[in-house]
Amino acid sequence: EDQVTQSPEALRLQEGESSSLNCSYTVSGLRGLFWYRQDPGKGPEFLFTLYSAGEEKEKERLKATLTKKESFLHITAPKPEDSATYLCAVRDNDYKLSFGAGTTVTVRA
């Protein structure tokens, strides 16, 4: 069974204070690692897909990286609007995503 573990559970940052979120995974054959953002009471919003170790993707203040056992989501100089829960998910076949519990990021002005 796929295992996805995210750390830390919660992260409180000052505006401008860069940090990283971790997603470690165990999957029989990785066919994609996905990062989503989820605001309270809303659906997950797609951010990135990573397929192979060494791959990196960037979007505004966010950068996702992938190794054979984990992925990192780096938040550079965060703003209050980056406050959300960030979800990591893996796929080992064509269909199902297996999600981690998420990291809740709070950015204070």
Partner 1 sequence: EPEVTQTPSHQVTQMGQEVILRCVPISNHLYFYWYRQILGQKVEFLVSFYNNEISEKSEIFDDQFSVERPDGSNFTLKIRSTKLEDSAMYFCASSVLANYEQYFGPGTRLTVT
Point out which residues bind partner 1 (CB under 8 A): 31-32, 34, 36, 41-46, 49, 87, 89, 91, 93-102
- Cα 71 → chain centroid: 7
- Least distance in Å: CB of 48 to partner 1? 9
Q: Least distance in Å: CB of 50 to partner 1?
A: 11
Shorter beta-carbon distance to partner 1: residue 42 or 108: 42
- The distance of closest approach from Cβ of residue 93 to partner 1 in the complex, given in angstroms and rounded to an integer, is 7
CA distance 61 to 55: 17
Q: What is the Cα–Cα distance from 104 to 109, expressed in whole angstroms?
A: 16
Q: What angle do CA 99, 83, 45 make, to 5 degrees?
A: 45
